[in-house]
Structure 1
């Protein structure tokens, strides 16, 4: 019975210690997604500007 209690306590401590790792991993994934969105938005702006210049030159 005592052995079972220690086992449960150890598993509980292991779960608590893995929680910060999970939160850190989640934060890193969010940063990667945010950076990816920024890159995509930047590419869209560049593409829009190129199309704008192309249309302007086409009309000349």
Structure 2
């Protein structure tokens, strides 16, 4: 992340960094058999769409 901050804007790096939450959700479902609720799915989709919007600017 520190290297990314040197070559990119903070807003872009922070947006991509938030994808770690989505990755954690996916891994918890795959490995720990956590249940996915509609709320969690919507939250993950909002994080992904926000990341896409921030990186496109």
TM-score bracket for this pair, using the shorter chain length: 0.3 to 0.5
TM norm structure 1: 0.34
Select the structure that is richer in helix.
Answer: 1
Structure ranking higher on relative contact order (CA contacts 8 Å, 6+ apart): 2
